[in-house]
Amino acid sequence: MVANMANHTSPTAAATPALDLSADIVTLTAALCDIESVSLDEATVCDAIEAALAPLGHLAVTRIGNTLVARTDLGRDERVVLAGHIDTVPLTKDPANLPTRREGDDLVGRGTVDMKGGVAVQLKAALVTEPSRDLTFVFYEGEEIDSRHNGLLHVQQQRPELIDDADFAVLLEPTASQVEGGCKGTLRVDVIVRGVAAHSARPWNGRNAIHDANAVLTRLTAYETSTITVDGLDYHEAMNATGIRGGIAGNVIPDECVVTVNYRYAPDKSADEALLHVKDLFEGFDVVCLDNAPGARPGLDLPAAKAFVDALAVPVIAKEGWTDVARFSEMGIAAVNFGPGDPNLAHHDDERVPVSQLQSAETALLRWLA
């Protein structure tokens, strides 16, 4: 059953590349990657996935723009979301990173790591007609660009009932096929240092804001980062200057200097608590918040999360970056990251995934659903 929430061209055999969900995981990943889907150009790959899911009678499929939500309704005691984005960063021409190719034990090409390998694992899981828990699959657009384009956000805003009844969520971002629990929050501020403008030949008539910014940098250098344990996982916080600007001319004492600071904070803190911590550190200066995205607790003490970790029998570590698991956390849904591919190779011109990781991720997820 397919419900369309936006106008789009219906998939046809002539217009839409065919995805064979019965193919092995490597072939399916290659087929997905070879359908170009740079952010804002996901319609073709969304059509292909929709066409592949449409014959599966155990799934109810809803389309919102170029995002698909497919749900089972088997009356299970638990419901789990399996989510992955279908867009990629732009392609390169030299070297060309599409079409995909095999190099030894690796599948090479744009999207193999971030994150069509994970999407392929989702699609293989979608073939399971009698999973051990009810499943909600989300294949979403616009993750690699500005948040307003994010398809998961669109579902939250337009049809939250499609996902907010879940007990647990798995985001199939690349983790080298180990479980990365939750994620850290990320906060960015401008710390503004005020001075007094003057002619550079007579600096005593002013106050140099760039020189005074040394006080901000000194506090940053002296700042002692913390490692905070949340649900049994260690999150390493970080506070860094990521930019500095000031001055208007070569002969003018600058009356303002702005230091941009990024704070990566553990998911034990709310967004407000993290901002207050930064403002306390830079007391005496104006602090302007540019963006603040809270992290997500892994919730590994919850039955659904524990069952997932136990069934996969793979290492579990903290997610040191920020991912869309935080969106699930905002909805009160514990979430983890798990997928094939080394995250250090995401967006790399030579993006590649070991075939063994595609296979092991598929095997582990299907074992959990058995």
**Residue ranges per domain, the chain?**
2-182+296-369, 185-293
Asked if 65 contacts 141 with a C-beta cutoff of 8 angstroms, the reply is: yes
Q: What pLDDT is attached to residue 313?
A: 84
- CATH 3.40.50.620 is the classification of domain 185-293: no
The Cα–Cα gap between 18 and 2 comes to 18
328-358, pLDDT tens digit by residue? 988 888 889 999 999 999 999 999 999 999 9
Residues tagged active-site: 87, 143
The Cα–Cα gap between 302 and 182 comes to 13
Please give the CATH architecture assigned to the domain spanning 2-182+296-369. 3-Layer(aba) Sandwich (3.40)
pLDDT < 50: residue spans in the chain: 2, 4-14
Q: What pLDDT is attached to residue 332?
A: 87
142: left (phi over 0), alpha (psi -120 to 50) or beta: left
Same CATH topology for 2-182+296-369 and 185-293: the answer is no
Closest C-alpha among 5, 157, 147 to residue 67: 5
132-190, pLDDT tens digit by residue? 999 999 999 999 998 899 999 999 999 999 999 999 999 999 999 899 999 999 999 99
The Cα–Cα gap between 80 and 83 comes to 10
**Residue corresponding to tokens 């647990």:** 168
Distances (CA, A) of 323 to 83, 195, 294: 12, 39, 10
The Cα–Cα gap between 189 and 291 comes to 7
**pTM score, two decimals?**
0.83
The identity of residue 244, as a single letter, is I
